[in-house]
A and B are shown apart, each in its own frame.
Chain A
């Protein structure tokens, strides 16, 4: 089920519809288009350059954030001109429910892990992190799941003097019940737990959900939107967030901006396998269609998307920026898996959700 990035790219390009001239709105101020989006795209929409690019076309885009699953299931969408969740499955659901004919996937981002050099070193010693040989580091998800299942704590890792915390070795994620990045993490972990195969049948769900549930539940309270734990990582450091599941774009956008928030001690890892998060805009109004089209086709907006760390239909801009900032990015990710279909993913999530409610969580076996 693994696919090369080239295939995925072709699909993305196929989704971009090549049409027509966009007309500015005649006279008066810009038309306000209000959308609900995954939190990780808020810095992009708040960027004055992005706002200016939209204003050129007579649009002012105002956004509010919510978890992608919330956008797909809970948020009252009537007040918005578009929804822009961070994954294709969530967008497909909204598209179907609202009877929308056309969606836009202007950019995508692989899931990545942001961590710190001393922690990456400790994990390398423990056999979880390895060098890809292509200028970036890889986190072995199967090894990680094994370690997590044993209930291993940081101070139990061999030779770990750098981060001797009593806490469990657990990736920080968002709440899988609300947020897309955690759902993407579930897509990855469920693939591993299902014997390196995408969960496709309902029969596979209970066992897989039970296997992966502890890596969500044992974290304790997790935040509902992706920008929050990543900000904790940047602001509060390894004490709170030794390693966080994030979109590659979140890390790269900070790196490309040169604002100093990515310190020399920070590291970007690619989980193996990883999944691609395809940010997909579902328009409910004509003006929102224009927003989707501009994001997909407007060269200025595309280049700004790359500056915000997203991969677009124009890989050159992204590659140039990565080279300029010596970013340890994976140009050609090979270990990419498809997320389960919306309904299967939803079943996995609701099974874990039930474990939250019952409190009858399978505890990590063995270990300490």
Chain B
């Protein structure tokens, strides 16, 4: 795990730097910084002012959810070097010992899933809760009024009933890649199961039909809670979001619904690693104490909309006065994993993932091998939980659209409800046979994919991945693609998630992502497999 992560990190940092260099005018025109946000999920360091390692530097492995606190940390008097990672990836890294020696502390939105992994507890030392934020439903004010929830009062059961009846739609981050999505899934499952105690695997199985009804209204997914909020703000498309209260409070014209049957709350524990050397432990102690001083707590509350973590500072009026019932969280990893598996294989709207793959001559050698590997990774070769969750899932449709000087014959795969093994094997074999030669007709490839998508099942959640390692040399242009795209019916315009690789034309690829409401992932100096894995959260 560690090698690809390091490589991807360098790549993402590069992307951020380039984005900054393009200047304010272009940024305003195409919002490229927003488009690049997901790449930050891979990023290790802030764009500028990167803190170099040293004996007086606290090295923190963090979830991207706490990125908004980085400016504040700069005033703590402790030098902090933060590296960002996905929640599940980070949990695996810590539990497996991969964080020992490389980091001194971890800071995720919750340690709950992490603590369920065997061996994790012994790697963690002091935990300091810094703040909290429950996962809630935020709805457009008009929609909330229409549903009778203008006062913010409803139960998950009522919300699920409205979802089943098609009365609203929502977006939520993928539970396999984001803590907000995972927390929401646990909360909804606990509430709908009407269990008074924590979910176990049997209870997960019995609540699955109700979860299906609830999630039939989910029309937008995302690998991170941040991208979800950005996309909703800029494009709308759904009636609301399931996300952290802190994120929802930052969006205009939303009514927050506080489910009276309970929520799951993130508590952001800054956690010392047991392996940290003595001088780093002291830095940790200073930073943790500083974060819990009343003035800093008040500032966190005001600037990030999170609830304070110390009793001396009371939550402000923006958080409402309703007492929040906390739902029990599973205490066995098997139950947590069963819940995510049920979500992916049975509950969620199945995905139709189209992969537009550059197999031009420049991909010869290591690059085509990296592409083959990246696809094989998604067939289940990566046996870690994050690998298992990000592989192609039951009911999913996968269409491969390779291109060089023109589009090749697309190949469609359809995973059955049970026993995906043989189809995964077919995809693996297909990936192994990809050969590189010829020119680069990016937009002919994209056009072929969008044409294929129209033939697909409209009941699937359709998205396109575009992976290319160079500039467009053959066939139609970006403008041609733009015209085609705008001719499609609005309901059938899948997003394109672009993977930069080799000598990609970053600027034009940004325009593709911008046009389609997708995002850009940078694997130019890094791992294609990591980028593909991350994109799975958006499919």
A residues apposed to B, CB below 8 Å? 34, 39, 42, 46, 62, 64-66, 70, 74-76, 79, 151, 153, 165-168, 170, 178, 217-225, 228, 231-232, 234-241, 254, 259-261, 356, 359, 361, 364, 368
Q: Which partner residue on chain B sits nearest A154 by CB separation?
A: B196
Q: Complex: how many Å from CA A315 to CA B327?
A: 41
**Contact among A39, A219, A261 for B328, CB-based, below 8 A:** A219
**Contact among B285, B308, B325 for A235, CB-based, below 8 A:** B308
- Find out whether the CB atom of B312 lies under 8 angstroms from the CB atom of A218: no
**A-B contact number at CB 8 A:** 123
Q: Produce 1/0 per residue, B109-145, CB < 8 A to A.
A: 0001001100001101111010010000000000000
Q: Which partner residue on chain B sits nearest A76 by CB separation?
A: B274
Q: Which residues of B contact A236 (CB under 8 A)?
A: 132, 265, 307, 324, 326
Q: How far is the CB of A176 from chain B (nearest CB, A)?
A: 11
Q: Complex: how many Å from CA A356 to CA B332?
A: 7
Q: Complex: how many Å from CA A209 to CA B465?
A: 53
Q: Which partner residue on chain B sits nearest A32 by CB separation?
A: B278
Q: Complex: how many Å from CA A215 to CA B381?
A: 40
B309 part of interface (Cβ distance < 8 Å): yes
Within 472-488 of B, Cβ neighbours of A (below 8 Å) are at none
Known contacts A62-B285, A70-B121, A221-B331; decide if A239 and B312 are in contact (CB<8 Å): no
Q: How far is the CB of A326 from chain B (nearest CB, A)?
A: 20
B201 part of interface (Cβ distance < 8 Å): yes
Most buried by B among A178, A232, A240, A261: A240
- Chain B: interface residue total (CB-CB under 8 A): 47
Known contacts A221-B112, A260-B311; decide if A167 and B127 are in contact (CB<8 Å): no
B197 part of interface (Cβ distance < 8 Å): yes
Q: Which residues of B contact A221 (CB under 8 A)?
A: 112, 115-116, 198, 328-331
Known contacts A165-B325, A236-B132; decide if A34 and B278 are in contact (CB<8 Å): yes
Q: A65-B125, A167-B327 are in contact. List 10 more A-B contacts (CB 8 A).
A: A66-B126, A151-B196, A153-B196, A165-B325, A217-B198, A219-B331, A235-B307, A237-B323, A239-B324, A259-B311
Most buried by A among B261, B265, B326, B327: B326
Q: Which 4 A-B pairs have the closest CB atoms?
A: A220-B198, A220-B328, A261-B311, A168-B196
Q: How far is the CB of B79 from chain A (nearest CB, A)?
A: 19
B residues apposed to A, CB below 8 Å? 112, 115-116, 121-122, 124-127, 129, 132, 194, 196-201, 261-262, 265, 267, 272, 274, 278, 281-282, 285, 289, 307-312, 323-332, 334-335
- Find out whether the CB atom of A235 lies under 8 angstroms from the CB atom of B330: no
Q: How far is the CB of B153 from chain A (nearest CB, A)?
A: 14
Q: Complex: how many Å from CA A75 to CA B272?
A: 14
- Find out whether the CB atom of A240 lies under 8 angstroms from the CB atom of B331: no
- Find out whether the CB atom of A359 lies under 8 angstroms from the CB atom of B312: no
Q: Report 13 cross-chain contacts, Cβ distance below 8 Å, ordered by A residue.
A: A42-B126, A64-B126, A65-B125, A70-B121, A166-B262, A167-B196, A170-B197, A178-B121, A219-B328, A220-B197, A221-B198, A232-B267, A236-B324
Known contacts A62-B285, A166-B261; decide if A219 and B121 are in contact (CB<8 Å): no
Q: Which partner residue on chain A sits nearest B199 by CB separation?
A: A220
Q: Which residues of A contact B309 (CB under 8 A)?
A: 231, 235
Q: How far is the CB of A65 from chain B (nearest CB, A)?
A: 5
- Find out whether the CB atom of A74 lies under 8 angstroms from the CB atom of B132: no
Q: Which partner residue on chain A sits nearest B310 by CB separation?
A: A235
- Find out whether the CB atom of B311 lies under 8 angstroms from the CB atom of A356: no
- Find out whether the CB atom of A64 lies under 8 angstroms from the CB atom of B125: yes
Q: Which residues of A contact B129 (CB under 8 A)?
A: 228, 231, 235
Q: Which residues of B contact A240 (CB under 8 A)?
A: 265, 324-326
Q: Which residues of A contact B272 (CB under 8 A)?
A: 64
Q: Which residues of A contact B127 (CB under 8 A)?
A: 65, 223-225, 228
